[in-house]
Amino acid sequence: MPGGSDEVWGLCAVDGEKTVGCIVGYPYRRSGVLLIGYVAARPGQRSRGIGGLLLDEARRRWYGKPGLTLVVAEIDDPRCHPPRGEIDAERRVAFSARQGMQMVIGPYFQPRLKGAGKKRVYGLFLAVLDDSSGAASPGQSVSARQLAAFLLEYFTTSEECGDWPQDQEGRWLLDWYRSRELVGLQPIDRYSEAEIPQVPGRPAR
């Protein structure tokens, strides 16, 4: 399944008998991290607050589940991903900012996911979600060791396979987080000011 988690959690928003939105999460229990896979609203139902309602309900139901202490999402960096049809990274950042997400000031790329022709995706950053009550606010930093454990779990259970990291990029990514205790956080709407370390040999944009 996408991302390789042994579980998939989901919530749907309905209007009468019609599903108008959904949110999907993947718990990685060894590292204690929940990855929000996606939040989506049906075309014609967007900009009506459905995504925010789903995320609030996910916070209420999922945050703080036994063994899960950190909630993250993968966000396209608008500097690397221009709008394509209805896919608009800038709008996703704006939505994430309204939800109080903070971006991780550390390198990231998405692993090859299971499925024919899947490749790594670059030009992303991780964002951290608090529990909205303030009880689990991430503050100004997050544990680098926990993120390293998440990356190891996420990548080894994806199409990257269980002997990850096999290549220079993978080793560099994992070692970057393992070499420090904490990684800084920054409000996601200030992404243009962020200086995120880049994968060696890949352009910054």
What pLDDT score was predicted for residue 113?
84
The residue-averaged pLDDT of 5-31 equals: 89
DSSP string, 36-62: EEEEEE-TTSTTSSHHHHHHHHHHHHH
In this prediction the pTM is: 0.88
pLDDT in tens, 125-157: 999 987 654 444 556 899 999 999 999 999 999
The DSSP symbol for 87 reads B
- The SS3 call for residue 1 is coil
Rounded-to-integer distance, Cα 190 and Cα 180, Å: 24
Q: Where are the domains of the chain?
A: 2-189
pLDDT of residue 205 exceeding 60:
no
Taking a C-beta distance cutoff of 8 angstroms, is the pair 129, 71 a contact?
yes
Instruction: List b or e across 108-125, with b for residues whose CB sees 16 or more CB atoms inside 10 angstroms.
Output: bbbbbbeeeeeebbbbbb
Q: What is 2-189's CATH superfamily?
A: Gcn5-related N-acetyltransferase (GNAT) (3.40.630.30)
